[in-house]
């Protein structure tokens, strides 16, 4: 299939599933599309053993050709993160910086260690002998909350504004730390152990470099936007800033996600307030809200279709199911520890730990990181476990976070 053919198939499926969800299921668009996509994929797989025709073979080749990890990490992610960052008020984020900062750094590291250690004990009891370093790698993959899943679902959950800011802010910023932890542990699995100086250099280049590059590119974009009042050109400038800035960050070995998040916060706050006319603000918001919705739907469609190419077997699925309470428990421990440390300087509402834990969704980024690992039995196990946890997170946590908030508010 050509690139045009694959895009045509994806758009047709996305439109069809979105329509069925709007008419029949009435779920949030991303969750509804993912549910229908999963059902479609499982149906295709069920037709294979009938022997009449094997559509699953064609479907597997099509989905494999798309390359989920590269499509998300090197393509869609920049647009989704920038669109999300545009909607986060910087003043509200500033009031929550302690919680966001600790959860996005120490929280990710603590969760990685807790999940890795618990999974190592758990999988040893169930049968598979995954080395400890691979268990820690799974912890690094599954610990960060996914900004795409979080922003798309939490926005519709009716959370109080401050809770939305905490959850969204953490999910936007924890990718930089998570990628560094992932790269470090992945290096250990490949026998490329690094010293403290090398790790510090990696952290500085990825995280600090990404923030500085985002400030630089956001400043350039702000200057350009302020110098004219042509909404078509201004929308094009922001699009070039997102795609070009993300590509530049990857070339400079900086964190692409942090680059576009910082640039998006700058443009979405100071840029919207001081560099745009009312007409430009309306057109810019409309463009990026539409791009956010469309890319989210396609992304969750792809997550559902990935079941066609993920190497399942009963033991791997069982271990993935067993990992669900481990991942949620590690998240709860990281959140509870953060709130306990910050309680002397920050007041928290009743149920804050519960909402932050249950609202910390995992999504496509975890699946993409797992799929980016080199082939092998250990990789297949990690991919399957990651997929099972992500499906639970999106379908179960994503659908129940709003009722949970309403119950706690009584």
Model pLDDT for residues 71-128, shown as the tens digit of each residue: 888 888 899 899 989 988 888 888 888 889 999 888 999 999 999 999 999 888 877 7
CATH number of the domain where residue 158 is located? 1.20.1530.20
| Distance in angstroms (rounded) separating the CA atoms of residues 83 and 324 | 30
pLDDT value of position 196: 65
Per-residue pLDDT, 73: 84
Helix (H) or strand (E) holding 57, with range, is helix 55-66
Residues 133 and 275 in one domain: yes
Determine the Cα–Cα distance for residues 292 and 148; give it in Å rounded to an integer.
9
Q: Check whether residue 212 and residue 355 sit in a common domain.
A: yes
* Three-state DSSP class for residue 83: helix
Q: pLDDT at position 350, please?
A: 77
C-alpha 150/C-alpha 213 separation (Å) is 25
In a shared domain, residues 168 and 47? no
400-407 contacts: CB < 8 A, separation 24 or more? 400/358, 401/153, 401/154, 401/157, 401/159, 401/355, 401/358, 401/359, 402/156, 402/157, 402/158, 402/159, 404/354, 404/355, 404/358, 405/157, 405/158, 405/159, 405/160, 405/163, 405/355, 406/158
Q: In this structure, are residues 77 and 148 in contact, taking their beta carbons and an 8 Å threshold?
A: yes
Query: Quick one: pLDDT at residue 345?
Result: 82
* Boundary (domain end) residue, out of 46, 64, 82: 64
Are residues 208 and 59 part of one domain?
A: no
Residue 180: which of 114, 257, 244 has the closest Cα? 257
Range of the domain at 242: 65-408
Instruction: Encode the chain (410 residues) as per-residue pLDDT tens digits.
Output: 687 888 898 999 999 999 999 999 999 898 999 999 999 999 888 877 766 556 777 788 888 888 888 888 888 889 989 998 998 888 888 888 888 999 988 899 999 999 999 999 988 887 777 889 999 999 999 998 887 777 767 767 667 777 788 888 888 888 777 877 888 888 777 766 566 677 777 778 888 899 999 999 999 999 999 999 999 999 999 999 999 999 999 999 888 989 999 999 999 999 999 999 999 999 999 999 999 989 999 999 999 999 988 887 888 899 999 999 999 999 999 999 998 998 888 778 778 889 889 988 998 889 999 998 888 878 899 999 999 999 999 999 988 988 887 787 66
Contacts of residue 337, Cβ cutoff 8 Å, sequence gap at least 6: 107, 110
Q: Which of 408, 394, 223, 380 is nearest to 315 (CA)?
A: 380
The answer to whether the CB of 144 falls within 8 A of the CB of 108 is: yes
- pLDDT value of residue 158: 67
Q: Of 11, 40, 64, at which residue does a domain stop?
A: 64
Question: 2: buried, middle or exposed (CB in 10 Å: 19+, 13-18, 0-12)?
Answer: exposed
Residue (of 296, 308, 297, 275) closest to 66 by Cα position = 308
Q: Alpha-carbon distance 378 to 134, whole Å?
A: 7
Q: In the chain, what's the furthest Cα-to-Cα distance?
A: 67
| Whether residue 34 is found in the same domain as residue 86 | no
Q: Does 122 lie in the same domain as 42?
A: no
Closest CA to 404 of 370, 361, 359, 368: 359
Same domain? 51 vs 78: no
Residue 280 and residue 272: Cα distance in Å, rounded?
9
Domain match, 60 and 71 both: no
Same domain, 50 and 70: no
Distance CA 266, CA 322 (A): 42
CA 150 – CA 275 distance, rounded (Å): 29
For residue 340, the tally of other CB atoms under 10 A from its CB is 11
Could you tell me if 174 and 50 lie in one domain? no
Q: Show which of 64, 85, 105 is a domain's final residue.
A: 64
- Same domain for 9 and 147, yes or no, is no
Per the structure, how many domains does the chain have? Answer: 2
Residues 292 and 168 in one domain: yes
State the CB neighbour count (10 A cutoff) for residue 259: 33
């Amino acid at each position: 299939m050509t690139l045009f053919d694959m895009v045509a198939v994806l758009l047709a499926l996305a439109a069809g599933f979105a329509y069925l969800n709007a008419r029949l299921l009435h779920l949030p668009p991303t969750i509804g599309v993912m549910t229908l996509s999963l059902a479609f994929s499982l149906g295709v797989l069920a037709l294979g053993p009938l022997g009449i025709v094997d559509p699953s073979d064609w479907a597997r080749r099509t989905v494999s050709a798309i390359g989920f990890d590269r499509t998300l990490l090197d393509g869609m992610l920049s647009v989704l993160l920038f669109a999300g960052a545009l909607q986060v008020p910087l003043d509200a984020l500033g009031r929550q910086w302690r919680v966001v900062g600790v959860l996005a750094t120490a929280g990710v590291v603590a969760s990685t260690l807790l999940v890795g250690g618990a999974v190592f004990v758990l999988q040893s009891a169930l049968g598979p002998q995954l080395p400890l370093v691979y268990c820690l790698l799974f912890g690094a993959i599954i610990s960060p909350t996914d900004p795409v899943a979080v922003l798309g679902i939490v926005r519709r959950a009716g959370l109080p504004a401050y809770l939305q800011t905490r959850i969204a802010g953490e999910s936007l910023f924890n990718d930089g730390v998570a990628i560094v932890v992932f790269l470090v542990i992945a290096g250990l699995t490949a026998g490329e152990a690094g010293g403290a100086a090398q790790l510090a250099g990696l952290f500085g280049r990825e995280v600090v470099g990404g923030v500085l590059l985002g400030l630089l590119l956001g400043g350039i974009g702000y200057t350009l936007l302020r110098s004219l009042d042509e909404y078509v050109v201004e929308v094009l400038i922001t699009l070039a800033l997102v795609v070009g800035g993300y590509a530049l960050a990857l070339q400079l070995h900086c964190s692409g996600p942090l680059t576009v998040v910082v640039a998006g916060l700058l443009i979405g706050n100071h840029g919207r307030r001081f560099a745009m006319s009312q007409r430009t603000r309306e057109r810019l918001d409309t463009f990026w809200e539409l791009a956010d919705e469309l890319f989210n739907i396609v992304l969750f469609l792809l997550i559902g279709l990935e079941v066609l190419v993920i190497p399942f077997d009963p033991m791997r699925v069982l271990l993935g199911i067993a990992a669900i309470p481990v991942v949620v428990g590690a998240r709860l421990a990281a959140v509870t520890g953060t709130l306990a440390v910050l309680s002397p300087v920050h007041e928290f509402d009743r149920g804050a730990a519960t909402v932050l834990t249950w609202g910390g969704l995992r999504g496509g980024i975890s699946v993409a990181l797992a799929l980016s690992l080199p082939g092998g039995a250990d990789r297949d196990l990690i991919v399957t476990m990651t997929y099972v946890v992500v499906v639970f997170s999106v379908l179960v946590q994503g659908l129940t976070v709003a009722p949970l908030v309403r119950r706690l508010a009584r």
